[in-house]
Every structure is written in structure tokens, then in C-alpha cells.
Structure 1
Amino acid sequence: MTTWIVFFMVGAYLGGSISSAVLVCRVFNKADPRTQGSLNPGTTNVLRVAGKSAAALVLMFDILKGAVPTYAAYLLGLPESAIGLIAISACLGHMYPVFFQFKGGKAVATALGAMMPIGWVLTTALISTWLIVFKISKYSSLAAIVTVSLAPLYTYWYKPQFTLAVAMLSLLIIAKHRTNLLRLFSGEELLSAKQKNVDDKEE
């Protein structure tokens, strides 16, 4: 069992290290998203840099990076704690990709993918929360922070055996958003519409 857990963790990290944002922008002959806009290789910045089609592809690939290893681990009957570690490994790969100088994104889409195998009820709750908060606030970073903060509560209500794993994943995502939190609390993100477009980072 331990061998399988280590195998999946390493595989999840390596899979997560494949930066879809960088690769998709290369295919679309666009600038490296790590050098443009918010400098963040995620869906939001790719939308800004390369357009809707490229952003949609990045979103899909990033979700799959989290969903595939965790769902495979779930099908093999690995314990919930191991699935949590595998999900974290996928997100760490996205955040610190070994293939791209360890310059990655914030793993929001990858974390969503990692939680999807828990069930469609949880998935719907997470997506709905993000959309509602984003519609009200217009900040994707705030929407992500609120959503992952509520994710353990949703999980406890729906499938409590996965609560610890989801809580571990949520803490990782919140920690990666620490600069966004500082800007939101200081009011820096409210300075101007132009600054908002540059500073609001996601995934």
C-alpha cells in the first residue's frame, strides 16, 4: 500500500508540473503568461494574455491534473488520508513545477479537479460559491479564497470521511493566496480599475 501511495504522489507531482498555461500559450503563439499580465500561469491570466479559447483549454487541463490521480487512487481503494496527500502533490506540482523552473500558479483549478471525485454535489457547491462571490465582488482571488475556505464545511456535510483531506488542500491554496489576502485587507486592490486588472491573480 505504501508503495502505491508514494507512486501516486510522485506521479501526481510530475503531472501537476506540466504547466498547461505555458504550453497552451506556446501553441497559440502567445507570450509566456509568467512574463505578462499578473505573471501568474493560470486560467485568469491566460484569458487576459491569450484569449478565451486558450483559457478554456488551460482550465480543462488544470482540472484534469487534479482529477486523474485522485480518482485513480480512489478507485484503487487508497485511504482518505493518502488521497489527500496525492491531491496536495498534484497542487504542489502546479505551484512549483519541476519542468518550468518551479514557477507555477495557485492551483485553484487543480484543487477543484482533485475534489471532483468526491462527488457532483460537492463540485456543484464549490463552483456555485465561486461564481456567486465573483459576481458580487468581481475579484477572482477573493472568490477562490472564500470557496476553498468553505470546501471543508461542504465536505463534512456531504462526505465527512474526506474532510481532513480537503482541509489540508484548502490550507495549501489559502497559503498560496497570502499576497492576495494582504492586498484585499489593505484595500490595495481597490485603488483603481486598471490596477485591479493587473493585480487580481488566480490559480
Structure 2
Amino acid sequence: MKIILLFIVAYLLGSIPSGLWIGKFFFHIDLRKHGSGNMGTTNTFRVLGKKAGFVVFILDVAKGTIATLLPTFFHITTINPLWFGVCAIIGHTFPIFAHFKGGKAVATSAGMLLGYAPHFFLVAFLLFITIIYLTSMVSVASILCMIMVSIGSFIFPKYVPWILPHFNSLFSTIAIVLTIFIIYRHRDNIKRIMNGTENKVSFGLGYKKEKKKS
């Protein structure tokens, strides 16, 4: 019964629509009606500004991290903590508090990674920032980082164990499924990338090049 309750708690944590609530309570703006219509970090940055975007990013990551750590908090060792992180990701993507229409699962997936393998999270986050600096596109950084996590889940335990000490088939499976899912959720972004019309953040080399052209 405790495990079932914690699964529900993990889902409800993930369901908290950080961007939507912050937009409504502090800015009187419904993110679903502005920008890309998404409630995630990128659209929050674009519509509400850097401070709000940063707060939403932290909150969305925290949802995945806290959910993944729930079994540790309650001394449960009979089930892999990744399942609780998955529940939070499902909640974030299909939130009960926002009519089951949520974000693209990137930040909450990162939170699950932070709760499960902090060193791996650090490597992925540094890669994420580097790709954003080079391209100025969050979508590209999100997709490439998820691909790296999937590949790294197989390679790092053998060759760079300080990043990921042990191979976990469940972790690798979840990483691959999430990579496919996140690529699917970014299908419109991929079309814009191929057409050269993808939105860029006001940071990095890609943004500077675009600004010079204009």
C-alpha cells in the first residue's frame, strides 16, 4: 500500500504545472495562449522572462528528483527508484492539474537523472549548456542530450565508471524510451530546424549569427 501511495504522490508531483501556475499567479498570463503554447521552461523564458524561466526549470527538475528519491526517503528497497521518476515524468507530460496537457518531459527527465545518477546529470547538463551556446536552440540541446544519455548508459559503466558506476538495464531501457518520446514531442521543432526557422534563445553563437544577419 505504501508503494502504491508513493507512486500516486510521484505522479501528482510531476503533475504540478509550474509554468502555468507561475504565469497565472504572478503575471496573469496563461502560457498555453502565448508563444509555443507549451508550459515548459523554454516557453516560460520566452514569454515571462529569464527569472520566471529559471524558477520553472528548477521546479520541473525538482519534481523528477524528489519523485526518484521517494523510496530513499521512506526506506523502500524492494523497487527500483527509477519507476517513481517515470511516474513524475508521466505526470509532467499528462498533468491531472492541467487537463492532461503538459510539457515535453525534458526537465523532469533531467530531474530523474539527478536523483538516480548525479554525476551523469552533471555531464549531461554541461553538454546541454554547451550545445545551447553553440546553436542557441534548446530543442537541439534537449534531443542530443537525451541521445547521449541513452548511449552513455551502456558505455559509461564500462569505460567511465565515475559517471555511472553500474550498468542498469532498466535505466537504459527508460533512457531509450524517453529519447524516442522526447524526439516525438519535438517533431514540430525538428521541422523548423530543417527549415531554418527554429526559435533561438538570446544566448550563444547561433543567436549572435542570426543577429548579425538581421
Length-normalised TM-score, structure 2:
0.78
Match of 1:174 among 183, 205, 210: 183
CA offset digits 1:141-169 (Å, max 9, x no partner): 01100101111222331131232333333
Q: In the alignment, which residue of structure 2 is the partner of 1:119? A: 117
Q: Which runs of 5+ in 2 are unaligned?
A: 157-163, 202-214
Q: Displacement, 1:100? A: 0.9
Paired with 2:23 and 2:100, the residues of 1 have a C-alpha distance of 18
Whether contact under 8 Å (2:92, 2:102) holds in the other structure is yes
Q: In the alignment, which residue of structure 1 is the partner of 2:53? A: 55
Q: In the alignment, which residue of structure 2 is the partner of 1:77? A: 77
Indicate yes or no: 2:140 matched with 1:142.
yes
Q: In the alignment, which residue of structure 2 is the partner of 1:10? A: 8
Paired with 1:18 and 1:104, the residues of 2 have a C-alpha distance of 9
Q: In the alignment, which residue of structure 1 is the partner of 2:204? A: none
Paired with 1:86 and 1:171, the residues of 2 have a C-alpha distance of 20
Among the aligned pairs, what percent are the same residue? 29
Indicate yes or no: 2:199 matched with 1:196.
yes
C-alpha distance 78-33 of structure 1, shift in aligned 2 (>3 A): farther
Whether contact under 8 Å (1:5, 1:86) holds in the other structure is no
**Greater relative CO, 1 or 2 (CA 8 Å, sep 6+):** 1
Whether contact under 8 Å (1:84, 1:169) holds in the other structure is no
- Residue 130 of structure 1 aligns with an amino acid whose one-letter code is F
Whether contact under 8 Å (1:88, 1:169) holds in the other structure is no
C-alpha distance 135-78 of structure 1, shift in aligned 2 (>3 A): farther
Q: Which runs of 5+ in 1 are unaligned?
A: 199-203
Question: What is the count of residue pairs matched by the alignment?
Answer: 188
- Of the two, which has the highest radius of gyration? 2
Paired with 2:107 and 2:147, the residues of 1 have a C-alpha distance of 15
Paired with 1:139 and 1:88, the residues of 2 have a C-alpha distance of 26
Q: In the alignment, which residue of structure 1 is the partner of 2:211? A: none
CA offset digits 1:36-79 (Å, max 9, x no partner): 01111011111111112211211111111101111122552243
Q: In the alignment, which residue of structure 1 is the partner of 2:160? A: none
- Residue 64 of structure 2 aligns with an amino acid whose one-letter code is G
Length-normalised TM-score, structure 1:
0.82
Match of 2:94 among 93, 96, 115: 96
Q: In the alignment, which residue of structure 2 is the partner of 1:201? A: none
C-alpha distance 78-112 of structure 1, shift in aligned 2 (>3 A): farther
CA offset digits 1:99-130 (Å, max 9, x no partner): 11122111211110011122332011110111
Whether contact under 8 Å (1:85, 1:165) holds in the other structure is no
SS of 2:32 mapped into structure 1: coil
Paired with 2:78 and 2:140, the residues of 1 have a C-alpha distance of 33
